[in-house]
Amino acid sequence: MQKLRTLIIALAVSSTLATGARADEKSYRATIIEFFQIANMEVVMQKSVDAMLSAQVQANPQLAPHESKMRQFLNKYMSWKSLQDDFIRIYQKAFTEEEFKQIVAFYKTPVGQKTLQELPKLMEQGAQLGAQRVQQHLPELRQMIEGGPAKSAPAKAPPPKH
């Protein structure tokens, strides 16, 4: 009888813990989704897909006739709708629910909203800067590649022991 009572209590406690965990998980997920809405992730993802496709077609003009099919493919597998649950899991690994509450509070402020507007532009400017820098120094890369493996200086002999 004592074992049965212990088992019932254990089941009741584990049931309560599981229900609480599901409630916490639901709250955590809702907080992350709120962040995604504030950050306008659906639009950001669509712009990323569009930019990636545009860059691919520009770099490879032979892809132009296939652009609409490529867009359809990318929208199927890289759309916000298809990736949202994966993003939630990724973000849950990086931030606690409490941290997300703080992030959401920040992004609701005027400076947080400005950050959301300006960050993509700043990232694009940074990417352009990096591309320009690489372009400026392509001759150095060519020389490195054509010159073969870099030659290291001969090793110095250790000093004599006295």
Same domain, 1 and 25: yes
How many domains is the chain partitioned into structurally? Answer: 2
The pTM for the full model equals 0.63
Q: How many CA atoms lie within 13 A of 117 on its CB side?
A: 7
- Is 31 part of a structural domain of the chain? yes
Same domain, 3 and 16: yes
Same domain, 23 and 100: yes
Same domain, 14 and 2: yes
Same domain, 26 and 62: no
Give me the domain span that covers residue 18: 1-39+96-134
- Is 85 part of a structural domain of the chain? yes
- Is 90 part of a structural domain of the chain? yes
Q: CA 9 to CA 32: how far, in whole Å?
A: 34
How far are the Cα atoms of 36, 51, 65, 131, 132 from residue 61, in angstroms, in the given order? Answer: 34, 15, 9, 20, 22
Same domain, 52 and 85: yes
Taking each helix axis from N to C end, the angle separating 80-94 and 2-38, rounded to the nearest 10 degrees, works out to 120
Same domain, 74 and 104: no
Tens digits of pLDDT across the chain (162 residues): 555 444 344 444 444 444 444 558 899 999 999 999 999 999 888 888 888 888 888 888 898 999 999 999 988 898 899 999 999 999 999 999 999 999 999 999 999 999 988 988 888 888 888 888 888 888 988 888 888 655 444 555 555 565
